[in-house]
């Protein structure tokens, strides 16, 4: 039916948008990896970054303001969420959420994330 085709097209558009975010916004397309394992690790890290970004967006109390407003769209863009995360990382209170390590980086948040994708 026509309604089903429109629904499938909408689902496909979300998938295509996700791949665009992964390749262009996160940077998986610009990989400088030279072997298969490094490419796999890089792609896994990019997918994890994308997932964490959307998880962060899902927990926001209000929708971020769109930097580039589009007539007829009420949602926000992936880049809007990335901008909010970047601004939060520059905030002095960010160290409460993601503390700097003092001696060994073994248990740091970054080390845990890197072990997850390695």
Q: What is the pTM of this model?
A: 0.61
The answer to whether 48 touches 26, Cβ cutoff 8 Å, is no
The band of 99, judged by pLDDT with boundaries at 50, 70 and 90, is: low
What's residue 18's pLDDT? Answer: 81
- Span 19-38, pLDDT tens digits: 888 888 777 787 888 888 88
- Supply the Cα-derived Rg of the chain in whole angstroms: 18
How many secondary structure helices (H) and strands (E) does the chain include? 5, 0
What's residue 114's pLDDT? Answer: 64
- Span 64-89, pLDDT tens digits: 777 777 777 767 777 888 888 888 87
Report in angstroms the alpha-carbon separations of 29 from 21, 26, 88: 10, 8, 26
The band of 96, judged by pLDDT with boundaries at 50, 70 and 90, is: low
């Amino acid at each position: 039916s026509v309604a089903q085709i429109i629904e499938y097209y909408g689902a496909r558009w979300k998938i295509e948008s996700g791949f665009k975010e992964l390749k262009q916004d996160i940077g998986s397309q610009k990989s400088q990896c030279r072997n298969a394992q490094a490419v796999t690790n890089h792609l896994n890290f990019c997918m994890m970054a994308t997932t964490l970004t959307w998880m962060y967006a899902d927990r926001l109390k209000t929708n971020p303001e769109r930097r580039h407003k589009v007539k007829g769209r009420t949602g926000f863009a992936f880049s809007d969420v990335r901008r909010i995360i970047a601004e939060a990382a520059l905030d002095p209170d960010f160290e409460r959420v993601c503390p700097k390590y003092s001696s060994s980086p073994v248990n740091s948040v970054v080390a845990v994330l890197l072990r997850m994708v390695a």
